[in-house]
Structure 1
Amino acid sequence: MTGPSFVPAPLARLPWKMLLLVVGITTFGLVVLYSAAGGHLRPWAMSQGLRFCVFFVMAIVLSRVPEGFWKTAAIPIYVIVLVLLILVELLGFVGGGSQRWLDLGFIRIQPSEMMKLAIVLTVARFYDLLPASHIRSWTAIWPPAVAIGLPAILVLLQPDLGTALMIIAGGLTVMFLAGLPLYLFVGGGLALAAAVPIVFSMLHEYQQKRVFTFLDPESDPLGAGYHISQSKIAIGSGGIFGKGFLNGSQSHLDYLPEGHTDFVFATMVEEWGLIGGLAVIIGFIMLVRWGVRVGQRADSRFSRLTAAGLATTIFFYVAINLAMVMGMAPVVGIPLPLFSFGGSAMMTVMICIGIMMSIDRASKGKSSLN
């Protein structure tokens, strides 16, 4: 006979091991931001911590949303976010040379971040509605291709190459998991490779410079290649155990640009070394693995595709950022979620987690009834 439980049943059913993992990753990120500010809570660590508390509660609230809501709301959410992207082109706020935000006075929103979620939900909903017998027909290809292409083009116009690539990657991942033939992706990849010169000519000058810098960062170490060169120096100088907390010279002496945002991983590895870097990578692997398992446990096509698509969205965030700071990919402005200072990526990841918890709760509830 068990004693009385003082934890409400809905909270007791939450995946607390995963949530504690998320809290652990974020807390480590706050420690790094504290160090990057020279041992001060402001301007980054305190506001980031408060922001996380809000998004953490939001994720728990989203976990209580019925699974069917996401299925019903998928296409309307996509249409709303697409309209917002069009409004960005017409009325958007310009900052840092890019037109990516809508300024509502009391808040500034970035619709392109929301599209990373909307595209996964929409493409998953499309294949949920598509009869299985049509999966190898043209009907299975062109509607999701248009749904992915429209927002990707709008985001490229902002310009925001990194977010556009993530929207495309998220949509294509769901298409692949839905069962489309492999030769379509191979053929598409070859066609994209053939179109690279055309696409490259359409990029902005600073984006073309980033590609050249990626190919040969040492050609302009004090100019376009400065970010990558300093990031490599910071990572390499950390060694196995790092220089120690509050002892990162590259970040504290301002040699490392954006050491609290896009290049926060380099800031962390300089002080915590290879051990700290591996701890962060393993933490994210465990988080993505949990999301994939949620998809495997789901009992509907929509839920399986959505959970897997959202898990891979988190994976793309991490993989692209790490490749970027290590000089293995061009600098495309993708932050490290839960670590980099800023609310957009954190909000997106916490919504992903909230939706996956909603799917997981529904799956466990149905299995307990059987």
Structure 2
Amino acid sequence: MTASALTRPGQRERLPVKLAEIDWRLVGLLCLVAGVGAMMLHSVGGGSWEPWAANHLIRVGFCLVMMLVLALVDLRLWFALAYPVYLGGLVLLVGVELFGYTAMGAQRWLDLGFMRLQPSEIMKVGIVLALARWYHGTSAQDARLSWKLLIPIVMIGAPVLLVAHQPDLGTAMLIALTGAAIMFMAGLSWKLILAAGAAFVAAVPPFVLFVLHEYQRERILTFLNPEADPSGAGYHIMQSKIAMGSGGFLGKGYGLGSQSQLEFLPEKHTDFIFAALSEEFGFVGSFTVLAVFAAIILISLRIASLSHSHFGRLAAAGVTATFAFYILINGAMVMGLAPVVGVPMPLLSYGGTVLLTVMVGFGLIQAVRVHRYLELPKGRGLF
């Protein structure tokens, strides 16, 4: 399909044309990783489809259909909903502070009766949309170095502080890193980047000492020296490293991972599923999955680069950055290179909320590709 055909009045609105413009390579790779996730959930579930693998496949099927539907949504509608989604997520986060549901020592949910909603997941998409829209209507000079940069800093800082207070340090990190990545891709001055880096380094000690909760400080100390308490605070990291190391080059074989099968590996179906995969399929299996993740990231960045609108470029690149940070943080966590912060491996780990958020993000990426020739107004509003 040529660009002229897609930009001909009325032609791009036809459903068959839109479906043809979806990047089916990306869809296939997402299904491949989700399939590997189902296979591993079947393994760590003792060779049974219950309680995790079957539910994972059902959720993947639902989210895949939803992603394809979202891919057909006009980019102008995504643009119009950017600020409402962000503000709605912010209001819900304030609601969590006031009357949120508490479980496992954290107040992260709103109990709606029929379901428990985690507003921080909405904010992962909301921050991308809002920043992409703000930068779409901002000059290159203002995006590089200007007092107006206080606006996106506040837009990022407000949800980060609210989520960190729940406490949910992993999600707060994802939102902060995604926001910083969008500011960088929008053309932020290197002077500000270096100044921000220096300020971050200087702020780490007082942040750790006076802001973090006791259990969060313990996680950092455990990360620095997990052997100090191998059966207590350091248990998660130690067992994860044992599982990954015991897999060797080719792994022990499907369903034969002793750490996961004998219940030594904690959270084997969520945060540490990549360690279980490494034990059963070794370096070769782990590298292959990471290579597929890399292909997904490269294809998504390519889609971002093809968009004719600044909003489309930043929205697709921002979602891709969130996905990449998921992988980097979880991978570093299970290898003992970062503290345990409760960030799952996308598409592999069991969990409906994160899967839904990730697939909504890829629906946005696909929408950017389908409508890549669409020009959006440079002003802040649509109307």
Q: Same fold (TM over 0.5)?
A: yes
Cα distance in 2 for residues equivalent to 1:230 and 1:78: 39
Of 94-103 and 75-84, the range deviating more from structure 2: 94-103
Partner of 2:127: 119
Counterpart contact for 2:243–2:278, Cα < 8 Å: yes
Counterpart contact for 1:130–1:140, Cα < 8 Å: no
- 1:164-179 to structure 2, matched below 5 A, reads 164-179=172-187
Residues 194, 59 of structure 1: CA spacing in aligned structure 2 closer, same or farther, 3 A cutoff?
same
Cα distance in 2 for residues equivalent to 1:298 and 1:125: 14
Partner of 2:237: 228
1:83 aligns with 2:91: yes
1:341 aligns with 2:350: yes
Per-residue deviation at 1:88? 0.8
- 2:130 corresponds to which letter in structure 1? T
Cα distance in 2 for residues equivalent to 1:11 and 1:364: 15
1:52 aligns with 2:60: yes
Per-residue deviation at 1:11? 3.1
| CA offsets 1:247-284 (integer angstroms, 9 cap, x no match) | 11101111110010000000111111111101110111
Per-residue deviation at 1:345? 1.6
Structure 1 ranges of 4+ moved more than 6 A: none
What percent identity do the matched residue pairs reach? 46
Structure 1: which 5+ residue stretches go unaligned?
Answer: 1-6
Partner of 2:219: 210
Partner of 2:362: 353
Per-residue deviation at 1:14? 2.0
Partner of 1:249: 258
TM-score by length of 2: 0.92
Per-residue deviation at 1:137? 4.1
- 1:259-298 to structure 2, matched below 5 A, reads 259-298=268-307
User: RMSD across aligned C-alpha pairs, in angstroms?
Assistant: 1.3
TM-score by length of 1: 0.95
Per-residue deviation at 1:28? 0.7
Residues 245, 149 of structure 1: CA spacing in aligned structure 2 closer, same or farther, 3 A cutoff?
same
- 1:200 corresponds to which letter in structure 2? V
Counterpart contact for 1:85–1:112, Cα < 8 Å: yes
Counterpart contact for 2:309–2:374, Cα < 8 Å: no
- 1:56-205 to structure 2, matched below 5 A, reads 56-201=64-209, 202-205=211-214
Per-residue deviation at 1:365? 7.2
Cα distance in 2 for residues equivalent to 1:332 and 1:306: 26
| CA offsets 1:257-315 (integer angstroms, 9 cap, x no match) | 00100000001111111111011101110111111001110111111111111111100
Partner of 2:37: 29
Counterpart contact for 1:242–1:273, Cα < 8 Å: yes
Residues 143, 351 of structure 1: CA spacing in aligned structure 2 closer, same or farther, 3 A cutoff?
same
1:309 aligns with 2:324: no
How many residues are aligned here?
360
Counterpart contact for 1:119–1:171, Cα < 8 Å: yes
| CA offsets 1:69-107 (integer angstroms, 9 cap, x no match) | 111111111000000001111111111111111121222
Counterpart contact for 2:145–2:189, Cα < 8 Å: no
Structure 2: which 5+ residue stretches go unaligned?
Answer: 1-14, 376-383
Counterpart contact for 2:145–2:188, Cα < 8 Å: no
Cα distance in 2 for residues equivalent to 1:140 and 1:296: 25
Partner of 1:4: none
Cα distance in 2 for residues equivalent to 1:365 and 1:243: 51
